[in-house]
Amino acid sequence: MKKTMPAPKKLPKKQGWLRNLGYVAFIVVWVFVSVVASQFVTALALQALLPSELLEKPVVSGIYSVISYGLSIILTFVVLPKIYKKLASDREEVGLKDYPTWTDIGLAPVGWIVSTIGAGLLMTFFNQFSWFEIGQAQDTGFSPYMNGGERIIAFLVLVILAPIAEEVIFRGWLYGKLRACTNLVTSILITSLLFAIMHWQWNVSVNVFALSVVLCGMREITGTIYAGILTHMLKNGIAFFLLYVIPL
């Protein structure tokens, strides 16, 4: 069994609550802007370089995902420390110390079950409001009408790349930084709310909020994000099967 997440190093008290609040706001805004800007710049570049009829192709969606996630990680782990050296991170702070263990593997299905139950309860609550569209389809960037090769690309992006990149950015870097200056509940709520907001659809946001709460908890238990990555992969893999395999 791995050690739990190390006790965070608190910011010096002399900084005061106002400066501490500014620090939290800065790192949250940086993650939001870096991810959105990366998506926007990548989309513009592809639109400028490729004919419009190619933009909906799965291979282009795959390229878009690789570039946009890559830019987000570069902005967070390379560019930001150049601007503000105190925001540099090591593997332990990001939750990538050591390697995945059997504990991580065993926690993955448990995390999926707990997050699914939590998402179901939240969905039931929000479904009583007229503005909440519980059946709205998520835009994954891939059409269900794909051939075998295209489906492999979609699988690699949605089930492998997205979980790794999102866990590194959100439950890795962002959550690690928040835990260094805020308490457990605040860190989980801020991380999960931002993760939910960045999925842009009400029903999807509610679903991934529940997932993020569980993933943050799993990081606290294991001290790394490996269990979270595996849980995220499992969730996306099941969704992939339901969306792109069963309809065939």
So what's the pLDDT on residue 13? Answer: 43
**pLDDT for the residue numbered 9:** 47
Are 1 and 103 within 8 A, CB to CB? yes
Instruction: Please check whether residue 185 is in contact with residue 175, taking contact to mean a CB–CB distance below 8 angstroms.
Output: no
* Contacts of 9 by beta carbon, 8 Å cutoff, 6+ apart: 180
Q: How far is CA 205 from CA 42, 109, 224, in A?
A: 23, 21, 24
DSSP H helical ranges for 56-135: 58-74, 80-83, 91-94, 102-126
Residue with tokens 């457990």: 184
Max intra-chain CA distance, the chain: 61
Report residues of the chain scoring pLDDT below 70. Answer: 1-19, 134-146, 247-248
Q: How many CB atoms lie within 10 A of CB 58?
A: 19
State residue 141's pLDDT score. Answer: 67
Q: Can you tell me the distance from the alpha carbon of 32 to that of 242, in angstroms, rounded to the nearest whole number?
A: 30
Candidates 187, 184, 193; CA nearest to 211 is 193
Are the CB atoms for 98 and 224 separated by under 8 Å?
A: yes
Q: Tokens representing 238?
A: 């099941």
CA distance 193 to 205: 8
pLDDT at 144: 66
Distances (CA, A) of 215 to 42, 56, 172: 28, 32, 10
Q: Are the C-beta atoms of 228 and 162 separated by less than 8 Å?
A: no
pLDDT tens track for 35-61: 999 999 998 998 888 887 777 788 888
